[in-house]
Homo-oligomer: A and B are copies of this chain.
Amino acid sequence: MAMEKIWFGGDYNPDQWDEKTVLEDMRLFKKAHINLVTLPVFSWAKLEPREGEYDFGWLDKLMDLFAQNGLGVNLATPTVAQPAWMSAKYPEVLPVDIAGRRRNHGMRVMFCYNSPVYRERAAAIAGALAKRYAGHPALKLWHVANEYGTYCYCPICRSKFILWLKNRYGTLEKLNERWYTSFWGRTLTDWEEINLPSELNDDYRFNPTIQLDYMRFVTDSTADCFTNEYDAIRRFSDKPIQTNMSGYIKKLDQFVMAARMDVVGWDNYPSPLHDKSLVALKHDIMRGLKGGQSFLLAEQSPNQQNWQPYNRLKRPGEVRMLTYQALAHGADSCLFFQLRQSRAGQEKFHGAVVGVSGREDTRVFKEMTQLGAELEKLSPVLPGMRSKADVGMLFDWNNWWALENSSGPNRDIDYLDCVNQYYRAFYEKNIAVDVLSCKSSFEGYRVIVLPMLYMFRGDLKDRLEAYVKGGGTLIATAMSGLVDENDQLPAQDYPAYLRDVLGLRIEETDALLKDRENAIELDGKEYSCRLVCDVVHTEGAKTLGRFTGEFYAGSPAVTLNEYGRGRAYYVASQPEQALLSHLIDGLGLKPVLDYTGEMEITRRENGERIVFFALNHGKSDAEVRLGGGEFTNLLTGERVRGEATVKPNDVGVFTARKED
Q: A residues bordering B, Cβ < 8 Å?
A: 13, 15-16, 21, 41-46, 49-50, 78, 80-85, 87-88, 99-108, 110, 180-190, 192-193, 195, 197-203, 206-209, 272-273, 303-313, 315-316, 341-350, 355-359, 362-364, 406-412, 483, 486-494, 505, 507-514, 535, 551
A185 near B362 with CB under 8 A, answer no
In the complex, the answer to whether A186 meets B304 with C-beta atoms within 8 Å is no
A15 to B45, CA, bound (A): 57
Cross-chain contact A209 with B344 (CB below 8 angstroms): yes
When all copies of this chain in the complex are counted, the total is 3
Q: How far is the CB of A510 from chain B (nearest CB, A)?
A: 4
Alpha-carbon distance between A184 and B316 when the two chains are bound, in angstroms = 30
A185–B101 contact, CB under 8 A? no
| A407 and B307 in contact, given A16-B182, A50-B189, A83-B189 (Cβ under 8 angstroms) | yes
Supply 13 further A-B pairs (C-beta < 8 A) apart from A45-B187, A349-B409, A356-B491. Answer: A15-B182, A46-B187, A80-B185, A81-B184, A82-B185, A83-B187, A106-B203, A305-B408, A349-B406, A349-B408, A350-B408, A358-B491, A359-B507
By the criterion CB–CB under 8 Å, are A491 and B343 in contact?
yes
A311 touches B511 (CB 8 A): yes
In the bound assembly, the distance between CA atoms of A492 and B106 in angstroms comes to 29
CB-defined contacts of A208 to chain B, threshold 8 Å: 344-346
Identify whether the interface residues of A are mostly helix, strand, loop, or mixed: loop
In the complex, the answer to whether A184 meets B345 with C-beta atoms within 8 Å is yes
A81 CA / B184 CA spacing, docked (Å): 7
Q: Which of B88, B409, B493 touches A190 (beta carbons < 8 Å)?
A: B88
For A511, the chain B residues whose CB sits under 8 A away are 304, 310-313
Residue among A306, A313, A316, A363 with the most chain B CB within 10 A? A313
With A349-B408, A492-B356 known as contacts, the answer to whether A45 contacts B189 (CB < 8 A) is: yes
CB-nearest residue of chain B to A195: B104
**A197 and B106: CB pair below 8 A?**
yes
CB pair A180–B551 under 8 Å, yes or no, is: no
Beyond A45-B185, A407-B346, is A107–B203 a contact (Cβ under 8 Å)? yes
**In the complex, A304 Cα to B507 Cα: how many Å?**
13
The smallest C-beta distance from A414 to any residue of chain B, in angstroms, reads 14
Contact of A486 among B107, B180, B344, B412 (CB under 8 A): B344
What is the CA–CA distance of A312 and B532 in the complex, to the nearest angstrom? 9
Contact between chains at B107 and A183 (CB < 8 Å): no
**B364 adjacent to A508 (CB under 8 Å):** yes
Known: A85-B190, A190-B88. A183 touches B508 (CB 8 A): no
Q: In whole angstroms, how far apart are the Cα atoms of A535 and B509 in the complex?
A: 53
* Residue in contact with A43 in the complex, picked from B185, B209, B347, B409, CB distance below 8 Å: B185
Docked Cα-Cα span, A513 to B87, in Å, equals 39
A84 near B187 (CB under 8 angstroms)?
Answer: yes
Given A85-B190, A182-B16; A195-B105 close (CB under 8 Å): yes
Given contacts A16-B182, A107-B203, A195-B104, contact A410 B311 (CB under 8 A): yes
Q: Is the CB of A85 within 8 A of B189?
A: yes
Shortest Cβ gap from A154 to chain B (Å): 13
Contact sample, A vs B, 5 pairs, CB 8 Å cutoff: A104-B201, A105-B201, A311-B409, A348-B488, A349-B409
Which residues does chain B contribute within 8 Å of A349, judged by CB atoms? 406-409
Q: Which of B80, B348, B488 contacts A489 (CB 8 A)?
A: B348
Shortest distance from the beta carbon of A12 to any chain B beta carbon, whole Å: 12
Least CB distance from A515 to B in Å reads 10
The 10 closest A-B pairs by CB, nearest first: A106-B201, A306-B408, A183-B345, A81-B185, A42-B185, A180-B344, A349-B408, A45-B187, A84-B193, A344-B488
A203 CB to nearest B CB, Å: 4
